[in-house]
Amino acid sequence: MRNEKLPTILVLTSVNPHKGPAVVAETAYQAFLHQGFDVDFMCPYPVDGHPEYLHIYNGKKNKFGLLFHPIVLMTKMCNRILKQMGMRQQQSGYYFFYRKETNPPIPVKHVINSIRKSYDVVFVVFWQGMLSFQTIEAIYDKFDSQFYFWCVDYSPMSGGCHFIGDCQKYVTGCGACPAIYSKNEKDFTHFNVEYRKQVYEKVKPIVMGNTYMMRFYDRSYLLKDYDRKMRCLPLVDNNMYSPRNKIFVRQKYKIPENKKFLIFFGSQSLNDERKGIRYLLKALSILYDRLNNEERNNILLILAGRNIESIKDKLCFDYNYLGYVNPIDLPDIYSMSDVFLSPSVNDAGPTMVNQSMACGTPVVAFDMGTAIDVIKGYNTGYCAELRNAEDFAYGIEQIFKMFPEEYQAMCNDCRQLSLSLTSEKAFCDNFLKYYYKYKK
């Protein structure tokens, strides 16, 4: 397969790749680059330290101009008016980044004019603040590229929601959207679904997702009968995310010697409901009650993210709060920890599960997202029943009470599974299989 000419690729993403989860876009770019592809990377604005990355706008002047784009301005104005009137525009638990597919966040011509050459493949990662299906259609019309949607949320199957909560409207084609308190079966979410259906039929993108996301796609109005779905595992930079010397990094972070078992949890926001914070707090409380005083004193929580104020009084164990952590520091934090907790209850990932395993650190997660592919059925951690805090606590306790030999074997299995399933070569080989299958 590798003897054939490799396709040229444009990785397209809306978020600075050095900010939080957006690093996955750059990880994909680096994987293609290291595996010998001719690949470019594009996002809305310049990225510090990477003059080779393509961008649509040059710094603050154009960014300021985008702020006052009529669509953006109108949305902000409506939000402000509704708030002042005591009305809610969008229900909690749902996430819309924009409304109509025909009103993309960045004008289509700005995106098109920034793509200076044709590519065999356009590889789309993050959409918000940049793309809509109208943009995708326009790029296809001009360049006739093969598209890949690397799905990190539910947007490709919905009428606008990137996170759907408990809504089942995606099964019937949206409309009467509960996120916006709509009773209209023909509201903009239904319009979006019908428009997206037309674009899917025309562009025929390959929709990528893990086992968890495929369960949703296979039930959805948009994708249940769609034949270009590609099951894929997350991609991890196994050179960056690799085991470090536990003693050294614990000294670096001034971890007290009496703290023998470090439990790490991290999220962009420590009060995000999707990340299962209330289940985490309950599980930690259950664990605390199951341990004696000596065992409790051995444990230290390592917390990373914003907004700790809302939960710190509910933490029963001693903790170190690191605040926002630069991705470059994460390998040290995973490596000094004995277990990483992923209590997410509505998430396609999270990527941190795979990063932790690459560093040789076992994971306790709920039965959802990427955990289904890399924990369930493997000796890499514990996969708890979804939203069952008691089962989650049981998983932590099992790892805490392991014999050293058992625990080390689990750490080794974490690293080996990461190398075999989420490496750059595995990712690119899987990509090429689908590229040649659907190549025009």
**Could you tell me the pLDDT band of residue 88, with boundaries at 50, 70 and 90?**
very low
Confidence of residue 60 (pLDDT cuts 50, 70, 90): low
204-232 mean pLDDT: 95
Domains along the chain?
8-235+424-438 (3.40.50), 246-421 (3.40.50.2000)
Contact 416, 374 (CB under 8 A): no
pLDDT at 163: 81
Please, which residues bridge with residue 363 across strands? 340, 381
**Average pLDDT of the segment spanning 355-383:** 96
- Which pLDDT score is estimated for 18? 82
Contacts of residue 303, Cβ cutoff 8 Å, sequence gap at least 6: 264, 265, 266, 270, 319, 320, 321, 322
At 75 the pLDDT is 41
Q: Is the pLDDT of residue 71 over 50?
A: no
- Output the CA–CA distances (angstroms, integers) from residue 334 to 84, 242, 352, in the order listed: 44, 9, 9
pLDDT at 318 over 60: yes
**pLDDT value at residue 22:** 79
Confidence of residue 2 (pLDDT cuts 50, 70, 90): low
Summarised one tens digit per residue, pLDDT across range 94-151 is 666 667 888 898 999 999 999 999 999 999 998 888 999 999 999 999 999 999 999 8
**Residue 98: per-residue pLDDT:** 65
> What share of the chain in percent tops pLDDT 70?
90
Residue 66 structure tokens: 């985008």
pLDDT at 179: 86
pLDDT at 412 over 80: yes
Q: Cis (ω within 30 of 0) for the bond into 104?
A: no
Asked whether 407 and 274 are in contact (CB, 8 A), the reply is no
Query: Which of 342, 395, 435, 411 minimizes the C-alpha distance to 21?
Result: 342
Span 31-37, average pLDDT = 97
Residue for token pair 């009467």: 176
Amino acid occupying residue 216: F
CA-based nearest residue to 115, from 55, 155, 183, 74: 55
- In whole angstroms, what separates CA 217 from the centre of its chain? 17
| CA-wise closest residue to 231 among 219, 215, 242, 243 | 215
What pLDDT score was predicted for residue 156? 86
- Report pLDDT for 134: 96
Q: For position 92, what pLDDT does the model report?
A: 54
Average pLDDT in the 381-391 region? 98
pLDDT, tens digit (0-9, with 9 covering 90-100), for 415-433? 999 999 999 999 999 999 9
At 244-270, the pLDDT tens digits run: 999 999 999 999 999 999 999 998 888
